[in-house]
A and B are shown apart, each in its own frame.
Chain A
Amino acid sequence: MRALLDFLVKYHHWLLFIVLEGLSFTLLFQFNHYHNSVWATTANSVVGRVNVWEQGVIRYMKLGEVNEALTRRNLILEQNNEELSRKLAELTHDSTWAERQQTLRLSNLKKIPAKVITNSVLRRNNYMTIDRGEVDGIEPEMGVVCGTGIVGIVFMTSRHYAIVQPLLNGHSNISCRIRGSGYFGYLRWEGGNPLYAVLDDIPRHARFKVGDVVETSGFSSVFPAGIFVGKVDAIEDSNDGLSYQLRVHLGTDFSQLQNVQVITQSFQGELRELEQKADSVAKL
């Protein structure tokens, strides 16, 4: 306080100068219309510029949030675009009957679109990674399909990614049937050509021919019935001679796979739990 008083005493003429100039300019703007209007216009212009600058800074600071929102929106639009493209292709091209049927069957299920980020077809046990995980609602044992047929089953999940065990894996075993006849067997891949798999355990009395459609049987909680898998390419006897072994030309070209959809069934968890209980009771 003392220092302030000393300062004011020492520089009192500065203070007086500022006060007198302030008084003069107050009179100037108060009683001169011209000066008053020029001052008001200039002040408005300056305030306007400062506001524009301030808004620019605020907008720049919020760019991170905007970017995030745009990315989210982009993802939704991408999904919509994919869906619309598929519908457009359906309407403008003569797509195969199987594909149309598959779309029809899948249209009633909840599907999560995903992109394949890593894939292999050359190993005996191939795996692929998709860009959706637990946060997107993906769980192990969910079925994965694409526009041309089934792909595989979700094997493991992390928060943002999932590993899929495709048909082209030695451990894959998917229940399938021949469309129209109802005879079913288990589809497995023997390695080698990624376009062909083997359908085992078709009874010898079953009636079918080369070219018949193979589809999912619906006997598991993973895939609903009727999803296209491929077509019968060749018919052979099984090793024990008790059943047929069919060579199936797969609908899915795994070497070019990019977009897939994960099927989520409402009662999948409940069904799986029931199956596990039944297994444990049977073991007793």
Chain B
Amino acid sequence: MLFTPLQRLLWMVVLVAAQMLVFNHIHLLGYATPLPFVYLLLLFPLGTERWRILLWGFACGLLTDIISLTPGIGAAAMTLTAFIQPLWLELVIPKDAVDNLQARYNTLGFWPYVHYATILTGVFIVAYFLILSFSFHHFGDFVLSLVSSWLLTLLLCLTFEGFRKKHE
């Protein structure tokens, strides 16, 4: 199922609201903070104009920044991930796939989808934490936060995807 802009906007509002109300308050063991609003970028199908993805990514990141009081961090990380998403999707999707194929469990298969989501969330989390910390003074803590947040974010994205599949 392909999204209309309104549905995509709805997903964005839900994800940003969830980030503000729930995920921003989670600091598992003092390190892991999930940032699942990146899931919005995983939803874009093959063949979407790149400028569209960039603008959506930037807008979603900026909105999260405003509510999280982290101006510029989410926007920069989301824009970078939005720039990479179509390139990565082309590599993951089979050559004979239809033009507007969306990355899903049933279109790619479970593990290829995990592969797809791992890299994109990884790019986003690494960019986000690099910009956030802006130094390597506490490198151990930095790596611990990054890896744990990555795993938690990936887990949530895979859960959202499973939730979508169940309700279709």
Q: A25 to B58, alpha carbons, bound, how many Å?
A: 12
Given contact pairs A16-B54, A20-B54, A25 touches B76 in the complex (Cβ within 8 A): yes
Contact in complex: A26, B72 (CB < 8 Å): yes
| B contact residues around A16 at 8 Å (CB) | 50-51, 54-55
Interface 1/0 per residue, A26-38 and B, CB below 8 Å = 1111111011001
| A-B contacts at CB below 8 angstroms, number | 59
| B contact residues around A13 at 8 Å (CB) | 49-51, 54, 83
Q: A8 to B79, alpha carbons, bound, how many Å?
A: 19
Contact in complex: A30, B50 (CB < 8 Å): no
Q: A29 to B131, alpha carbons, bound, how many Å?
A: 11
Contacts of B38-62 to chain A: CB distance below 8 A: 49-51, 54-55, 58, 61-62
Q: A32 to B83, alpha carbons, bound, how many Å?
A: 24
Query: B106 on the interface (CB 8 Å rule)?
Result: no
Most buried by A among B62, B71, B131: B71
Contact in complex: B71, A31 (CB < 8 Å): yes
Interface 1/0 per residue, A82-116 and B, CB below 8 Å = 00000000000000000000000000000000000
CB distance from A274 to the nearest CB of B (A): 88
CB distance from A27 to the nearest CB of B (A): 4
| B contact residues around A237 at 8 Å (CB) | none
Could you say which of B50, B79, B134 contacts A24, with CB atoms under 8 Å apart?
B79
Query: A281 on the interface (CB 8 Å rule)?
Result: no
Query: B7 on the interface (CB 8 Å rule)?
Result: no
| A contact residues around B73 at 8 Å (CB) | 24, 28, 32
CB distance from B142 to the nearest CB of A (A): 14
Query: B32 on the interface (CB 8 Å rule)?
Result: no
Contact in complex: B51, A30 (CB < 8 Å): no
CB distance from B165 to the nearest CB of A (A): 30
Query: B161 on the interface (CB 8 Å rule)?
Result: no
Query: B135 on the interface (CB 8 Å rule)?
Result: yes
The residue on B at minimum CB distance from A13 is B50
Contact in complex: A28, B131 (CB < 8 Å): yes
Interface 1/0 per residue, A14-26 and B, CB below 8 Å = 0011001101111
| A contact residues around B58 at 8 Å (CB) | 20, 23-24
CB distance from B124 to the nearest CB of A (A): 13
Query: A12 on the interface (CB 8 Å rule)?
Result: yes
Contact in complex: B79, A21 (CB < 8 Å): yes
Most buried by B among A17, A20, A34: A20
CB distance from A216 to the nearest CB of B (A): 84
Given contact pairs A17-B79, A21-B79, A34-B134, A28 touches B72 in the complex (Cβ within 8 A): yes
| A contact residues around B83 at 8 Å (CB) | 13, 17
Name 19 A/B residue pairs within 8 A (Cβ), A-sorted: A13-B51, A13-B54, A16-B54, A17-B79, A20-B55, A20-B75, A23-B58, A24-B58, A24-B72, A24-B79, A25-B72, A27-B75, A28-B71, A28-B131, A32-B70, A32-B72, A35-B72, A35-B131, A38-B134
Which residues of A are in contact with B by a Cβ distance under 8 Å?
12-13, 16-17, 20-21, 23-32, 34-35, 38
Q: A13-B54, A32-B71 are in contact. List 18 more A-B contacts (CB 8 A).
A: A13-B50, A13-B51, A16-B51, A16-B54, A20-B54, A20-B55, A20-B58, A21-B79, A24-B61, A24-B75, A27-B62, A27-B65, A27-B71, A28-B72, A29-B72, A32-B72, A35-B131, A38-B134
Which are the 5 A-B pairs with shortest beta-carbon distances?
A28-B72, A24-B76, A27-B72, A13-B50, A24-B75
